[in-house]
Amino acid sequence: MPGILRSIVLGLSLILLISSCRKGEITRNGVPDTFISYEAINLTGQNRLNSSVRLTWYGTDGDGYITGYELSLDNQNWEYTTTQDSVFLFDIPPGADSADISFFVRAIDNDNNTDPTPAFLQVPLINTPPDADILDDRGPSDTAFIAATFFWQASDPDGDNTLKSVEIKINDGDWTEIDRSQNLITFLADTNIQSGEASSQIYYGNSTAPANLNINGLRVNDSNRLYIRSTDIADAISDVDTSASFYFRPKTSGTNILWVSGHTAPITAEYRGYLNANNITYDLLNFGYSQGINLPKYFDPTVRLIFDQYSQAFLNLPSTNFRNTVTGDEKPLLDYLAPVIQRFSDNGGKYFLTTQLTKTTDLSESRSVYPIDDISTSTVPGSQARIVSDSALVPLIDTARFPSLNPTNVEFGVVPMVASADAEDFYFAQITRFRGWNGSSQVVAAIRRRNNNISEVFFCMELHRFDKNAGLVEQLIGEIFDNEF
């Protein structure tokens, strides 16, 4: 019902069951009579009703029947309805914590006669302040890198429809009103700022475009807190809720390569050595630190926005599952990153990825994103593919530039891959077929090209296991980043 009476037909915030009483004689020369199902609401102080109230009414007509009703808050302006009950959201005047609302209703009969003495009820209301909360278990852990994502919620005991605004601020910055229908919010700080206060763009949900507002106050290379509050239609303001403290780490100025590690500290150190040997400058996104404690709650938008700031990436990812504490998912980083890598490569990004496939690897989330279509396994029970110490991973193209790689130890349970149709086989493994292993492929790496240069490199073997001859893994990585990317 539009207008001064905002009626919510669905949902009952309060049901008032009070014995009905009459307002007068049933009929007066054919004029209808009107009744509200209770005579008075004798509540005062903190016992008053909240602003969402259910009211019921009815009418009688001695020489006909009732066709409808008119409702009013001032006995002057009326609105027609055929219903006999509704839940009303009454407005408490701005700045007031209570109000007495006058409610009038008059019946109309089949002869279009209107009750000349409408039924009346005074509704005593009190406003309850709203709430606003930041869910720390969905926010950054101890450190946010480039982008910080938070989940918030706000409510009002008088009904969420009574919320008027939600505001946030970072540290001592200004309060900024945000879209109160968007509970997931991400801050992307100005990447030109390396230290001190920075302005941040705001992204709602999974949007790929920032909202048309910025927020100040975020301190780069320093600790931060997010604050939130809500206001209701009576201008009552909630208590301010505060996030857990988080450190904000910036993008290194001029760096275009993002390194993503999912391995433990000792293995991460090996890959650091490979990159440093080639004088590759990078920013590190370390998912493997302390058993994945820094795993982002949201790969989209958080990690997607991080990747958007770079043109190249190096990724060393284990086959182990990582648990997302928000969704409850447990899957390898290869799957979490698939939609991020898809967007990254679609936007012209280039990446070098090394991981480990197993015979139980599920490619349903990764197929077509990476240059892989399937894994190669054996149909013979108990059989196995191995790479022994005097065998190697051998390049299939440009053997003068790309080295063969020998394993440090015997590799058991090797699972080769089948490259996607738009990819090119890059390396194959000199496999020892143990107990009749009959897999169809020995390929362990594939590439995609863009403008005749390699733009995507995918190894289904972890390269740190193939550094028997010092310097060869470094040579491979250097050739890709220096001469292809």
Q: What are the tens digits of pLDDT across the range 124-137?
A: 887 788 999 999 99
pLDDT beyond 80 at 51: no
Q: Report the alpha-carbon angle 326-331-332, nearest 5.
A: 120
Q: What is the percent of the chain with per-residue pLDDT over 90, rounded to a whole number?
A: 78
Q: What is the mean pLDDT of residues 347-366?
A: 96
- Measured distance CA(336)–CA(369) in Å, rounded: 12
Q: Let me know: does 206 contact 301? Beta carbons within 8 Å.
A: yes
The CATH label, of 3.40.50.880, 3.40.30.10, 3.40.50.2020, 2.60.40.10, for the domain at 131-249 is 2.60.40.10
Residue 53 in tokens: 């109230």
pLDDT of residue 428 exceeding 90: yes
CA distance 243 to 263: 29
C-alpha dihedral sign at 71, 73, 74, 78: negative
Phi, psi angle pair for 116, to nearest 5°? -75, -15
Give the Cα separation of 99 and 92 in Å (integer). 6
Integer Cα distance of 224 and 104 in angstroms: 53
Return the DSSP state at 372: E
Tell me the average pLDDT across 139-165. Answer: 90
Which 3 state secondary structure label does DSSP give 444?
strand
Looking at residue 142, the DSSP 8-state letter turns out to be S
**The pLDDT value given to residue 15:** 31
Cβ(407)–Cβ(466) under 8 Å?
yes
DSSP-derived secondary structure for 183-213: -EEEEEE-TT--SEEEEEEEEETT-SS--S-
| 279, HSE (Cβ side, Cα atoms, 13 Å) | 1
Phi, psi of 420 (to 5 degrees): -70, 165
The 10s digit of each residue's pLDDT in 362-406 is: 999 999 899 999 999 999 999 999 999 999 999 999 999 999 999
| Signed CA dihedral, 328, 139, 159, 203: sign only | negative
Q: Which amino acid is at 209?
A: A
Whole-prediction pTM: 0.79
What sign results for the dihedral spanned by CA atoms 287, 205, 230, 172? positive
Chain-centre distance of CA 130, in angstroms? 24
Lowest mean pLDDT segment, chosen from 31-40, 294-303, 369-378, 433-442: 31-40
Same fold flag, 7-126 and 131-249: yes
CATH 3.40.50.880 at 257-483, yes or no: yes
Domain ranges of the chain: 7-126, 131-249, 257-483
pLDDT of residue 179: 97
What's the token pair of residue 26? Answer: 């049933």
The CATH code that applies to domain 7-126 is: 2.60.40.10
Q: Does residue 301 have a cis bond before it (omega within 30 degrees)?
A: yes
